[in-house]
Amino acid sequence: MKKNTYYITTPIYYPSANFHIGHCYTTIIADSIARYKRMQGYDVCFQTGTDEHGQKIATRAKEAGLDPKSYVDNIVENAKDLWKSLNISYDKFIRTTDKFHELAVQKIFTKLYEQGDIYKGEYKGLYCTPCESFWTSTQLIDGKCPDCGREVHEVKEEAYFLKLSNYADQLVKYIEMHPDFIQPESRKNEMINNFIKPGLEDLCVSRTSFSWGIQVPFDPKHVVYVWLDALTNYITSLGYMSDDDTEFKKYWPADLHLVGKEITRFHTIVWPILLMALDLPIPKQVFGHGWLVINGGKISKSLGNYKDPREYIKEYGVDAVRYFVLREVPFGNDGTFSEEALIHRTNADLANNLGNLVNRTISMANKYFDGQIANKHEKESIDKELFDAVNKVNQIVKEKMELLHVSEALESIFDVLRRSNKYIDETTPWILAKDESNRNRLETVLYNLLESIRVCATLLAPYLPDTSKKIKEQLNNFESSDNYLENNHYQVNIPTPLFQRIDKKVE
């Protein structure tokens, strides 16, 4: 049977400096969604990558005394290592310096030129180099770039333009007919009211003032504007405009482009218009999430106000970092990253709630039954609430994940863990253990707890893959049903703590 496909992407990040926790944020969320969809049986293509051309990279490379390609090679290697240490399960990693991408971009540019969607003119205007964005004077805020607040400078050059204006009506119609296309809702209104309705100016899509980019094939003093180069990554990686477009036919249109809010504009205006001009289907959804901020400000490569995320992984464990990022910020909003908050979350949820539950239950199974537990079916009414919680949670997770409410999906699993800890307090196994006549009830109680832990571990796999695996190893049970089973059987291992409590004070 043919499986349903699911194509999910992160932005392709600028390798202008090593990545920070903000890049990890998007990538970890995308990874959890990709893993969740795989668990649901989808044929998933999860793509990330790097956006390597443009003036900003060229300048950085020069400052570092390297040619641009060697400069980005180092950063890409570092990024791949970071993704490995975060257990990011991407299927594809595209670099815009990949030859197949460069060739496809040239073909796309030529096609759009030949059919009249791209034309030659003169560009006079304002440019923000860090954002690689053009602005009109009315779009500036206090004379500065409205995205990053930095200086813009005037540029004047012969350039090619993409006729965005030709497609504005079609775009508005598309957005109105497809309410899920731009999410969350607030961003959709912002796009329509602030950008599309006031009128779309044609977009400058080539530059002549620097050479680190993809050459316009029929006019080689021009390089393709970095955003046109970058956006098309989502289709070139699948073989669009190449000899083998099997994957393109299989996975396109994308199900989800996950992006930060500041680049929603490119993904919901420029990108669909490019696709309309190419006569290709529009992605099903663009989700523009909020930012992780540090001390009230955006974490920024150019401000350098951050630590290498691997330091947190080394100190607190990969799943502590994944959990924090997934759980702390309601998806769509901004959230604050701090080491203190990371420690707090790890202690409260991972060490106390999850870790203690697993440790206490497996210890008791060993202590009272040499680790061998079967269901003795000696139920009591007090069990009902736990059963209900365990049997409902997969449905809750499913509903939350369909809305991309990842934080709430995780919360619902942790509610069951909390409920299970409460069940230990209610059933007091250590008191049951004192009386031989309670033996079957005691075994039933431990069985119920092991089933709850197993179901939660199964559901946690997309978010905390290492921890999920460790729990299943400790349970010595890899049954993947996400419901309470009546006749499972356990021969548990000796428990080892999943998370250590962290007592460190952060300055």
How near is the Cβ of 52 to ligand ME8 at its closest, in Å? 9
Nearer to ligand ME8, 292 or 464 (CB): 292
Q: Applying CB under 6 A, which of residues 6, 7, 8, 14 lies at the interface with ligand ME8?
A: 14
Return d(Cα 440, Cα 488) in angstroms, integer. 16
Amino acid at 253: P
Does residue 46 belong to the site contacting ligand ME8 (CB under 6 A)?
A: no
305, 441, 474: which is closest to 375 by C-alpha?
A: 441
272, 230, 260: which is closest to 95 by C-alpha?
A: 230
Does residue 230 belong to the site contacting ligand ME8 (CB under 6 A)?
A: yes
Contact residues for 315 (Cβ-Cβ < 8 A; gap 6+): none
Nearer to ligand ME8, 258 or 362 (CB): 258
Q: In this structure, how many other beta carbons lie within 10 angstroms of the beta carbon of residue 369?
A: 19
- Using the contact rule CB under 6 A, the part of the chain among 21-29, 207-215, 410-418, 449-457 near ligand ME8 is 21-29
Q: Applying CB under 6 A, which of residues 171, 231, 235, 416 lies at the interface with ligand ME8?
A: 231
Does residue 241 belong to the site contacting ligand ME8 (CB under 6 A)?
A: no
- Using the contact rule CB under 6 A, the part of the chain among 69-77, 98-106, 205-213, 291-299 near ligand ME8 is 291-299
Does residue 283 belong to the site contacting ligand ME8 (CB under 6 A)?
A: no
Nearer to ligand ME8, 51 or 117 (CB): 51
303, 330, 331, 299: which is closest to 312 by C-alpha?
A: 299
State the greatest distance between any 2 C-alpha atoms of the chain, in Å, as a whole number: 91
How near is the Cβ of 504 to ligand ME8 at its closest, in Å? 24
How near is the Cβ of 15 to ligand ME8 at its closest, in Å? 8
By CB under 6 A, the residues from 367 to 406 that bind ligand ME8 are none
**Distance of alpha carbon 468 from its chain centroid, rounded?**
19
Asked if the peptide bond before residue 217 counts as cis, ω within 30 degrees of 0, the response is: no
Does residue 292 belong to the site contacting ligand ME8 (CB under 6 A)?
A: yes
Q: How far is residue 233 from each of residues 26, 168, 182, 269, 446, measured CA to CA in Å?
A: 17, 23, 20, 16, 52
Asked if the peptide bond before residue 184 counts as cis, ω within 30 degrees of 0, the response is: yes
By CB under 6 A, the residues from 251 to 280 that bind ligand ME8 are 259-260, 262-263
Nearer to ligand ME8, 9 or 448 (CB): 9
CA torsion angle 481 484 486 492 (round to 10): 80
How near is the Cβ of 64 to ligand ME8 at its closest, in Å? 17
Q: Give phi and psi for 359, each to the nearest 5.
A: -65, -45
Nearer to ligand ME8, 27 or 452 (CB): 27
Return d(Cα 249, Cα 252) in angstroms, integer. 6
Does residue 465 belong to the site contacting ligand ME8 (CB under 6 A)?
A: no
Does residue 320 belong to the site contacting ligand ME8 (CB under 6 A)?
A: no
- Using the contact rule CB under 6 A, the part of the chain among 121-129, 181-189, 205-213, 229-237 near ligand ME8 is 229-237
Number of residues that bind ligand ME8 (CB under 6 A): 20
Q: Locate all alpha helices (DSSP H) within 260-334, ordered by sequence.
A: 264-265, 271-277, 309-316, 318-328
Q: Applying CB under 6 A, which of residues 299, 318, 321, 442 lies at the interface with ligand ME8?
A: 299
Judge contact between 259 and 267, C-beta under 8 A: yes
Binding residues for ligand ME8, rule: CB under 6 A, are: 11-14, 22-23, 25-26, 51, 230-231, 233, 259-260, 262-263, 291-292, 298-299
